Each structure stands twice: as structure tokens, then as C-alpha cells.
Structure 1
């Protein structure tokens, strides 16, 4: 139970204890961390943008309604003449994958002149425009849609990288708290041993088998261990608060970490590691995507250097009469409309901007290719270095384990010698210090080794797979559920196995 002081007295705050495995900590962070929720909200806008881009080759509908009043001065009549035009129309546009565009327009117009009966006009127009040079072909015509899909893939890779970093932070902080817990337990055990040694030395002094100065040394060692225990408790609470902050839990929550410090010997193959990394790492996949995107941009820039030659086809039916239905009838049959076919050529002269765009696209492609090559070399070196660190860390862990066993045996033997009057308290205190150091080294070696494996997961791009994390929640990401990612004020505690 925690007691917190207030301005008007004291108030009791009941601390909750939460059993927390490492997987639970990761799941908690991914569902309650504000930065993660903001990233999911950004993903909603990404999906909306892709849906909009995918409509490029779908029919586009438009309705147009207009009403206009005019006052025209007539020099013949020396007065203004009033007229009103009301129009209603609709159009359908369809772009094909070769760059052509088909458009159907239907317009109805009513003209009212002062002193005359209204006149109605109906127009039906079907037109088709097909680029023959610039803008022609599926590669150029579909470039914007392809870029939109690549952008969506790029955002997925960015999300994967972000979640990997968040998981890495949670794992590191979880193990930092584990390290602080073990450090405090080591300090507690050392403090108890120092207390026991003081009691033993007191009995030896009374029996005349130990000098008073050595008894004072044991009291000094006890005071030093008490100070070390206080420091360990403070560091433990600091680590707890940092973990609570990541998990978005209340500051009074006590955490019972249930994840064991399980380690096993490494079995690493550099060739397989490199293959896995190049297949899964989001930064490498993003670099490859950048090359493809810049290559497409170069194709579009090359296409922009062409002349604008297009084939234009149109067909039109028109009718005008004093009644609306008559205007439709007077449009005639389909074979009575007006046809047109033609070619149009636009030749730009001295357009340096397009030439500059071509150079920029070429340079961007070369730069992305260079970056991809550099990143691949960097990944190989990172994995080689990580493999060496893990193997060295395992060897160091085994040495720390042996060192711990020897220091325990050394202290036990020295305590027996002291009890028999064959040693001094100075040696016991020194060996006690060595034991505490060995215990801390062993725990630190375990945590460091596990953290190196976590770093390797990130370098291989397998973090989400290893922790069974999906890139998107089960409920999906859409405009319909965007409110699910709006967190309320204050930490959430729902669904946790806790007790007061």
C-alpha cells in the first residue's frame, strides 16, 4: 500500500500489482502507447489516399446545374433586354490503361427571352482522346496508380520499422527492470550476509578470538551494504516508472515480472542471416522500392520529352425546340449526328523545365541505386558484427557463471577460516565485495546476451514474426473505426490480471 501526502493531510493510494510477461508487455504497449495509436491513425489516411488513387481507371460521374440571368443593352432598341439561361447536364468519364479518355456528355438548356416563348436545347456528345506519343502506353498511363500502391507499401514498411523500434524499447526496458530487480535482490542478500557476519564477529569478540578493530570493519561493511541497498531500491523504482510510462500504466502500479531469464547457446549462420535480412528488413525493402519508384519517374520524365500528338474522335447530336420533349426528339437518330476525327500535335519549343526534370529523375535513380548498394554492404557488416557480439557474449556469460561459482566457494571457505581464527575480517569483506560484483556481472551478462539477440531480430527484420505481431489490428484500419485509436485521458487498466 502506498501513502501519498496532500495539501490537507494524507490520502491512501492502493497500489495494484500486475503479473506481466514480456509478450504481455509488448501487446500492452502496441495497444495503449500513444505514438503507436497515432501511427495507426496516419495509416487510415494512407488507405484513403490509395482508395482515391484506385479510382483513376473507374468511371467518373458529374452532374452540372446552372442558372444565369443576363441583361444585354440593345443599341437598336436603346434599352436593356433581359434573358435567363437554365442548364442541367451530366457527364461520364472513363480513362483506360493506354492513356485514352472516353467522355459522354448530356446537356439540357432552357433559354428565356423577355417577350418570347422559352426555347429548349438538348445536346449529346461522345468524345474520345487517345495520346499517340506523350502519355501513351500502359507504363506511363498507369504510373500514378502504381506510385500510389508503392506509397502504400512504403507506409507499411515504415509501420513495420516503427513497431520494431517500439518492441525493442519495451523489451529493453523490461529487461532493465529485471536487471534492477536482481540487483536489488543481490543487495538484499549481501546486506543479510553482512548482518550475519556482524553477529558472528560480535560473538568472536566476546570469546576473545577476534579483535575489536576487525569487528568495527564488519560494522563499516554493513553500513556500506545498507547504502548500496538504498541505491538499488532507488534504481529499481526508476526502472519501474520508465516501464510504466512505455506501457501507459498508473504510476502506483507494482509489476511482477514473470518472464524467465532463459538463455541458450547461439547457432548462427552468417549466410542465412544475410539472406533473411535482405528478405525481411523494412529499410532494405524500402530502398529497393525507392529504386523502382525512381526508375518509373525516369520513364515518365523521358515520356514528357515527346511531342504531344493525340487522336481526337467525337460524335454529337443536337436539338432545339420550343418544348423540352420536342428538343429531345429533334436531336434525331444516332446516324443523324455530327462526326469528327482529327489529329492534334503540340510541339514545345525551348522548354528547359522538362529537360531539368529529366536530369533530376536520372540523378534520383542513380542516388537510390547507390544507397541500395551501400545499405546492402552495411547490413552484411551489421550482421557480421552482431554474430560476433552474440558469440562473444555467450562466452562471456559462461565465464561470468564460472566466476560466480568460484567467488561463492571462496567466500564460504574464508568465512570458515575466520570462524576458526585463521583469517581476518578484511579478507571476508573483500571476498564479499567480489561475490556481489560476480553476481551482478552474471545477471548483466544474461541481460546483455538477451538484448543482443533482440538487436539481431531487428537487424534480420523478424521482430514482428518472432513476437507474433500483425502489422495491422484484427479489426482492420479504416475511417469507420478511427475513434478506436483515440485514447482517453489517463492510463488504461482494463483486462489486466491484477490484485490490490
Structure 2
């Protein structure tokens, strides 16, 4: 249902509205929400606040020395998922511009030519001497220009210029032939209910800005995930290298036993069977070394894959030499403080909070759309007439012929089921977004508690395995003393050596697991990038 009321009158004030309307069109269309240059796209590459130690490459690319920090930075710069996240973030910049562009002024130009010939059935028009049917000729040319713009209150302001040239033949009653008629009209239409208000008309810009922040949060989440994956792969490579060292050390012990046994057999103080046992021990250690070397290559490939070294054949064939060594320094971890940090720093939580804000703004928009449309229109027009274009323009801008108009239009949707359904749907989405935030907060608490427990557990494991390694070392020393006086055998020595190698491997694994658990804790807190002094360029541009 549409109800329209109009009011039109002449005004004594002839020069007030036109300059104001012209300024509104030219200025308000380019306010801060409508004018923006092309955004400068910042690529959110991973950077380091302090110069990294660098990637040291050996002679003929035989090896590649990498610190953990260098590995993370390299992975962030080359990971495909990170590159995709960068592009997504850049796309959001243009989406903000798209929402702002609705405030850009528009210019409409139109031209029309009409030629009409109609028969005359009147001596009054054709002349008293007319005895035949002659054509009545009318030739019209129209040009129209309109510039208009939307402003943040929801109003549309416009300025229109129109000129019409009319030629009549015959024209017994025309004062001017041809004649030029033109007018200049300034108009503003302001919604008062539906679609009205600063917030409603800017809310899509706010949502687009939040979407940009969401994309940055997603990018940071991906960067944190990649960083954690790198640190796990890096320390696993270190663990594989430590296992290889343990295997080589065990082989050296077995070879030393074999050498001593050969000397004793030659001197007749030891049975030849002891040489066989010692040789079997050496062979088993060689097999362990082969397996350990293969494990090192596997862990190297895992790290190279994350760092995307596969694109460079020369680098991908080089051996990776980790320069960071595991250093066991027990750290005190406060659970409550760690949870507080995680609640502030986790980008996934920020992402969901921003989505909740967007859902709230959408709900407010949908509520506004429940209202009926009540639009107020006001404007004024200056009209002119002349025998040529210059005379017509002089007549128009002399402000002798001025009109004003006011319109109030009301449109009430009957039923309004679509708007109500969208409003109810938006409220449910808002509730859903709020629940997602609460669920993520609970997930973060559980994840942090688990990470803290893992750190504390690994501290105890390191202490336990270190004690076990010390006892295994003492047991080997005891067996060697007994062996020298003939109270032990080569098998017992080899068994003690194997137990020591196992204890050394367990200690190394516990220390590596402790380093990994520290990285996992930083990931759970959302501070793993800070822990390795790595920043993203997008964060730097905001500061």
C-alpha cells in the first residue's frame, strides 16, 4: 500500500536552495564513506624483527645450515597455504572499497530527437486560406544531465539540468519559434523509517572491515599452524640426528670390544667364541646406523616439504644441518596466566568474536528493514524560456520562474513475511555465533591445560631418563670391570652397551619432546610467532 502526499508553491526566496543542493551533490557524494583511492595492498609476508642468522650453504650445496627461526621464516614465505591466505586478505581490501563505492556520485546524460508530422484539420491552425490538408510539423530536441549521490544518512541528493528545443510549423499562436525551454532542479530524498540512519547505511562498510580483520586472523592462524608444524619437524630432525649419533657411539663401543677380544684371543686369554659374539654386536650396530641414516633423510624431507624446498632441485638435494640444539631448561608455567594470554592472543577466538559482531550488525539491519518505507522529498526548480539557448539560460538563472515541491511517500508492506523471516534468521545466526565463541573459549582452555600438563610431564621424563642413562652408564662400567677379571662375557657387555644406547636415545627423545611441547604451548597461547621474534608485515603496517 502506497500513500503519497504532495505540496507545491512559489517561493519569495529564490537563491537559497540551488547553491545548497549543488554543494550537497558535489561534496556529500565524496565524503569519507564514498571516496577512496585504490587501496595499497600490503603483502603479509613473514618478517623477522632482528636480522636472522641466515641460511648457510656449504660448498657445492652439499649442506644447508638452518636455525629453527630461519626455517619458520622460510616456510612462511614459501608455503602455499600462506600465499593463499595473503591473497584472501588482499581481496578483502577491495571488498571494503566496493561497499564504499555506493557513495560515489553518478552522472547521467541523455539526448532525444523527435520529428512529427500530423495532418491539420483546422483552419484556425492552418490559416483561413487553407483549402487542403497540410501537415503540422513539430521538431523537438531534448538534452538532460543529472548528477546524483547517496549520502551516509540514506538520503539521495541530485541536481538536474534539462533543455528542450521546439520548432512548430505552422505556429500561429507561438511567441517564439523555435523556442528553447530549460530548467535546473535540485532534489533530496531522505528515508525516515526503513533505510534511514547513519548506522544502517554504513553497516556494510563496518562488516567489510571486520571481514578484512577476519581474513588477517585466519592468516595469522595459518601462520601459527605452519610455525608449529615447522618446529615439530625441525626437532624431529634433530632427534633423528641424535639417534644417529647414539647409533654411531654404540657401534664404536662394539668395535672397541671386538678389538679387545681379538687381542685377548691372540694371547690365549679368551675363547674364540667371544670374537663371534663381538662381531655379531658390531653387525647389529651397523644395521641400526643404516636405519638411523634413513630416518634422518626422512625427517629432512618432511622439513623440506613444509619449507617448500621441492621447487629448487639444488637445495632439495642438500643435507639440512640444524644449528639449534635442544637445551633443557625447566620453565615454570602458570596455568591461569597462560589461559588469560591465550584468550587475548588466539586469532581463532578473535575471528569468531568478529563474526559475532557482524551477526549483531546484520540483525540490526534486518530489524530496520521491518519498518515501512516513509520517504520525504524536497526540491526546487528554476525554469526559463528563450529564442535561443543563451536566452533560455539567462531566463533560468535570473530566478524569475521558481518552483518548490515537497513529497511524503509511505509504503506499508502487508504481511511483510520476507523481512520478518530474514530478521528471525539473523537473530538465530547471532545466537549461533555467540555459542561458537563460548565453545572456542572452552576448547582453548582444554588445549592450554593439556599443553601445560605435557610440558610438566616432559620435565619429569627428562629427569627420569637422565637418571636411567646415568645408571646404564654405571652398569656398563661395572660389566667392563667384571669382564676384565673374567667374571662377565661379551654378551653381557653388548647387552649393557645396548641398554646404554637405549637410555641415551630415551633421554634425547625426552629432551626433544620437551622442546616440542614448549612450542605446542606457545601455539596454544597464540604466541608462537612472538616466541621466535617473527612478525607479519600486515601487523607492522598497523603499528
- Report what 1:23 is aligned to: 69
- Report what 2:145 is aligned to: 89
Q: Secondary structure at the match of 1:470?
A: strand
CA contact (8 A) 2:383 2:396 kept: yes
Larger Rg: 2
Task: Please report how far the alpha carbon of residue 411 of structure 1 lies from its aligned counterpart in structure 2 after TM superposition.
Answer: 1.6
Task: Please report how far the alpha carbon of residue 289 of structure 1 lies from its aligned counterpart in structure 2 after TM superposition.
Answer: 1.8
Matches within 5 A, 1:150-299: 150-249=210-309, 250-299=315-364
CA contact (8 A) 1:74 1:81 kept: yes
One of 89, 94, 101 as aligned partner of 2:155: 101
Segment drifting more, 60-69 vs 304-313: 60-69
Cα deviation 1:394-416 (Å, max 9, x = unaligned): 11111111111221222232123
Segment drifting more, 356-365 vs 467-476: 467-476
1:64 aligns with 2:118: no
Structure 2: gaps of 5 or more residues:
1-58, 121-132, 171-176, 310-314
Cα deviation 1:93-116 (Å, max 9, x = unaligned): 1413xx332423233556587999
> For residues 276 and 335 of structure 1, what CA distance do their matches in structure 2 show?
72
- Report what 2:465 is aligned to: 400
> For residues 510 and 320 of structure 2, what CA distance do their matches in structure 1 show?
23
> For residues 483 and 178 of structure 2, what CA distance do their matches in structure 1 show?
123
One of 350, 370, 377 as aligned partner of 1:312: 377
Cα deviation 1:103-147 (Å, max 9, x = unaligned): 232335565879998765544332222222222233323211211
Structure 1 pair 193/138, CA: closer, same or farther in 2 (3 Å)?
same
CA contact (8 A) 1:311 1:341 kept: yes
> For residues 185 and 109 of structure 1, what CA distance do their matches in structure 2 show?
93
Task: Please report how far the alpha carbon of residue 229 of structure 1 lies from its aligned counterpart in structure 2 after TM superposition.
Answer: 0.7
Q: Secondary structure at the match of 2:414?
A: coil
> For residues 21 and 78 of structure 1, what CA distance do their matches in structure 2 show?
100
Structure 1 pair 230/119, CA: closer, same or farther in 2 (3 Å)?
farther
Q: Secondary structure at the match of 1:311?
A: strand
TM-score normalized with structure 2 length: 0.77
CA contact (8 A) 2:378 2:405 kept: yes
TM-score normalized with structure 1 length: 0.84
Cα deviation 1:449-493 (Å, max 9, x = unaligned): 11111111111111222223223269969xxxxxxxxxxxxxxxx
> For residues 443 and 418 of structure 1, what CA distance do their matches in structure 2 show?
29
CA contact (8 A) 1:69 1:82 kept: no
> For residues 245 and 224 of structure 1, what CA distance do their matches in structure 2 show?
32
> For residues 443 and 363 of structure 1, what CA distance do their matches in structure 2 show?
53
Structure 1 pair 307/213, CA: closer, same or farther in 2 (3 Å)?
same
> For residues 118 and 466 of structure 1, what CA distance do their matches in structure 2 show?
84
- Report what 2:533 is aligned to: 468
Residues matched between the structures, number: 461
Structure 1 pair 81/199, CA: closer, same or farther in 2 (3 Å)?
farther
1:39 aligns with 2:99: no
Structure 1 pair 115/159, CA: closer, same or farther in 2 (3 Å)?
farther
Structure 1 pair 345/425, CA: closer, same or farther in 2 (3 Å)?
same
- Report what 1:361 is aligned to: 426
Q: Secondary structure at the match of 2:188?
A: strand
Structure 1: gaps of 5 or more residues:
1-12, 478-500
